[in-house]
Amino acid sequence: MSELLAFEAVTAGYGEARVLDDVSLTLEEGGSLALLGRNGVGKSTLLMTLMGLTRRHAGQIRFAGRDISRRPPYQRARSGIGWVPQERLMFPSLSVEEHLTAVARQGPFNLGAVYRIFPRLEERRTNMGNQLSGGEQQMLAIARALMTNPRLLLLDEPMEGLAPIIVEELMNVVTDLVNDNGLAVIVVEQHARLALKLTREAIVLDRGQVVHRGPSEELCADPDRLHRLVALS
């Protein structure tokens, strides 16, 4: 499969503070990657750097064969990167359907498609963003990103604070997106085993650097190694 995303020796952070240090990684078309590590090691910063929301000090970012290192966030989104931020960012003045149609771009993920994925959103289509439960807001955040018809979906702590039944539902959705729709996915998740079950490959970050890369299945099957990696200090 062809390369979709590449970080080449990327150093980035906020102002003069450097959070990512010489990070390199690649992701193929339709690939799935878990970003693991303790709090504060740079997982969310990597996603924000990909979206153009941090200061890049060095290195290059390529997406779909093009250097996007200097592109503003809106151009990166238009190029095919969908982002589901940890904060969800619901607009209290917009209905569920308005959240979806406001960002819609032509492609297979239209209103009908996302309502089939998330029937509960169709039931709540006239509700405002702040009238939804936490689980419904997360569904809407994912559906909104899908409405941009991305080639790559970024999920930042998608299961945080959700009831187990909602977690199971969202995991099934993400699995189907990867396996049935060929969508590339990067998942940041504090619960390492959840992320490993959703993805084919895993990267562990520590102090802004990649300290491990390998198949998700192998890491999930080795709990001692997983604990050592995500508990690094």
pLDDT in tens, 146-174: 999 999 999 999 998 889 999 999 999 99
Q: For residues 130 and 154, what is the distance between their CA atoms, to the nearest angstrom?
A: 23
Residue-level pLDDT at 87:
81
Start-to-end C-alpha separation, the chain: 36
**Which residues contact residue 96 at a Cβ distance below 8 angstroms, ignoring those fewer than 6 apart?**
121, 124, 125, 126, 127, 128, 129, 132, 140
Backbone torsion region of residue 37, taken as left when φ is above 0, otherwise alpha when ψ lies between -120 and 50, otherwise beta: left
pLDDT digits 0-9 by tens, 174-194: 999 998 888 999 999 888 999
Residue 69 structure tokens:
């290192």
2 vs 5, 168, 210, CA distance in Å?
9, 31, 22
15-44: average pLDDT: 94
Tell the residue number behind the tokens 């941009």, with chain if given. Answer: 148
Residue 42 to residue 39: CA distance in whole angstroms: 8
**Range 80-101 average pLDDT:** 91
Q: Which pTM value belongs to this model?
A: 0.93
Nearest partner of 62 among 12, 35, 27, judged by Cα: 27
Alpha helix stretches (DSSP H) within 51-188 = 73-78, 96-101, 111-117, 119-123, 134-146, 164-179
Cβ pair 154, 81 in contact under 8 A: yes
Listed by start position, the domains of the chain span: 89-148
